[in-house]
Amino acid sequence: MTSRRGFIQQMAWVAAGSFFINDALALGGVKDKKIGVQLYTVRDDMAKDPKGTLKQIAAMGFGEVEHFGYNGKFFGMEASEYKKVLDECGLVAPSGHYLYGNFGNKQNPGTVLFGWEKAVADAKAIGQTYMAIAFLMPEERTSIADYKKIAADLNKAGAICKKAGIQLCYHNHDFEFQELEGQIPFDILANETDPGLVKFELDLFWVSKAGKDPIALFKQYKGRVALWHVKDMDNTPNKNFTEVGNGVIDYARIFKHAKTAGMKHFFVEQDVCPGAPLDSIRKSIAHVQSTLLKKL
């Protein structure tokens, strides 16, 4: 018969074993989390040598990329060729950036207002599950009426995406949080779009530069912030871009609230780099791997 002491010792070992198993599973989840990069950071490299640049990115440890500049092709490649290159590099592209399209001659291919169906078809062909509206040109956002029209068009674009199994998102800068005609444009975009059709890719640099708390936005739009842009802000009056972990944004705190946000993917980005962009993203991923993943 097992003594009381023996029983307690056995239970202690069971508890310890459970702890180590759970801990191992947690570490495995962190280890397996793919880190993404927005390719705009390395735009000059992509223009010169897209395949070689993607290979270097993969070698750093990135598992996901988010493209930009789609104009009917991806960096000059048809969808099938681009997908082949990604596969060869061991990369996936869960998301890409697109424009609204109400500028210039208003016939810019692959925008919400022109050629959107083909853009969605190509996105699906390379395996995207998200499409993000990247930026509104100044002439597209002169009034609250403009934002209301944009919101209505995003609902239509999001419905087309949904039929293809893709989620549409809207990517912010700081101007959406600046008052216009007594209202906040971001509120218009959030309140007048269907949460099931339009989610958000919060750029955490621009949110911070606008004086907003990312975590407060996560709570306000709980489960709707599917994508993040992770880039840091230096400690100068100009609040310039800098490598992740080299600035003043408290990413350790932010990453703890990923579940509240509903975050599915995040992408390291640095719009302007002091030297070679590939060197900057190498520093950023090192900080993400060593410090931030464990916060998820």
CATH of the domain at 220: 3.20.20.150
Contact between 205 and 241 under an 8 Å Cβ cutoff? The reply is yes
Domain that holds residue 222: 34-295
Residues 198 and 219 in one domain: yes
Number of domains forming the structure of the chain:
2
Transcribe 43-108 into DSSP letters: HHHHHH-HHHHHHHHHHHT--EEEE---SSSBTTB-HHHHHHHHHHHT-EEEEEEE----STTS--
Q: pTM of the prediction?
A: 0.89
The model's pLDDT over 118-152, given as tens digits with 9 standing for 90+, comes to 999 999 999 999 999 999 999 999 999 999 999 99
Residues 22 and 162 in one domain: no
Distances (CA, A) of 288 to 33, 225, 245, 295: 11, 19, 8, 10
The model's pLDDT over 183-238, given as tens digits with 9 standing for 90+, comes to 999 999 999 999 999 999 999 999 999 999 999 999 999 999 999 999 999 999 99
Residues 1 and 38 in one domain: no
Residues 210 and 107 in one domain: yes
Give yes or no for residue 6 having a pLDDT over 90: no
Residues 18 and 142 in one domain: no
Give the number of other Cβ atoms within 10 Å of residue 84's Cβ.
14
Structure tokens, 116? 């959107």
Averaged over 92-109, what is the pLDDT?
A: 96
Residues 210 and 272 in one domain: yes
Residues 74 and 114 in one domain: yes
The model's pLDDT over 42-55, given as tens digits with 9 standing for 90+, comes to 999 999 999 999 99
The model's pLDDT over 67-80, given as tens digits with 9 standing for 90+, comes to 999 999 999 999 99
Residues 153 and 290 in one domain: yes
